[in-house]
Structure 1
Amino acid sequence: MKIRDVMTSSVDRVTPGTSVVDIAQLMKKNDVGSVPVCEGDKLMGIITDRDIVLKVVAVGGNVNSISAKGIMNTNVITATADQDVHEAADLMSKYQIRRLPVLEQGKLVGILALGDLAIEKIHINEAGDALSDISQGAHHLN
């Protein structure tokens, strides 16, 4: 099964100039912990709720004056829509991520959440293993 078969294709995104407050509000509204940062359809980075806490709140930063560009992660692990879901589960486990941006020809076309893998019974064990690795902080980078 391909990633395109289970990914979410309607993805809210922010621009590099979006304020941290607006990003946090979007996360709350959509009940998500990460948001892609794009210029048009081109993925520039990703911001997690953890980024906001550690890079802004914990250091006493002014949430009203800091934008996505200042705290986004630019080294983003991505997949393509044509990749197999088993590969996606392996990537998510290896890099300890719960949401994987999906690109086609360099453009953001969707997002694959760990829960999307669990929808298909065949992938429940892989999704569970990936979540277990992520939750335990197992780091498989070599």
Structure 2
Amino acid sequence: MATARDIMTPDATCVGADESVLAGAQKLTTLGVGALPICGTDNKLKGMLTDRDIVVKVLGAGKDPESTKAGELAQGEAVTIGADDSVEEVLATMKNHKVRRLPVIDGHDLVGIVALADAARALPDSKAGELIDALSSDR
């Protein structure tokens, strides 16, 4: 049975909670990704910084991306999945929490991210369709 570890993108780069949103945006650009985990000084996951967050919550709200800290955009406890949890559990977690990117944790350590595309590739077509449909509705 496939696990989150089998389908994740490993070695996720974090943006520090104390780093600016601008620094986060530059990391997104350099890495060619749409989201980064926000990690605290204790190396624990605080949330996710997405390109949409930057546009809507910072630029659209008239905030300065250079003085706004990435940690300010972390909302509550981050939704995660265990590295050894099944792909079915990944699917259920993504659907239940309506998230397109799921940080993968091994103990307390961030070890990777499962993106919607990763999950869709690992699932049978019918299950991939269900996941995409669930994440696309009621946004």
2:93 alignment counterpart: 91
| 1:41 shift after superposition | 3.8
- Find the aligned partners of 1:136 and 1:7 in 2 and give their Cα distance: 24
1:35 alignment counterpart: 36
2:71 alignment counterpart: 69
Q: Given the two structures, how large is their TM-score scaled by the length of structure 2?
A: 0.87
**Alignment RMSD (CA, Å):** 1.7
| Counterpart mapping for 1:9-28 below 5 A | 9-28=10-29
- Taking a change above 3 Å as real, the CA distance of residues 123 and 77 of structure 1, as seen in their structure-2 partners, is farther
- Taking a change above 3 Å as real, the CA distance of residues 135 and 61 of structure 1, as seen in their structure-2 partners, is same
Unaligned runs of 5+ in 1: none
Would you say how many aligned residue pairs link Structure 1 and Structure 2? 137
| Counterpart mapping for 1:1-142 below 5 A | 1-39=2-40, 41-120=43-122, 122-137=123-138
Q: Secondary structure at the match of 2:56?
A: helix
Q: Partner amino acid for 1:59?
A: A
Unaligned runs of 5+ in 2: none
Name the % identity: 36
1:9-61 Cα distance to aligned partner (Å, 9 max, x none): 12111111111111112222333222101135421221122221222111111
- Find the aligned partners of 2:125 and 2:120 in 1 and give their Cα distance: 4
Q: Secondary structure at the match of 2:10?
A: coil
Q: Given the two structures, how large is their TM-score scaled by the length of structure 1?
A: 0.86
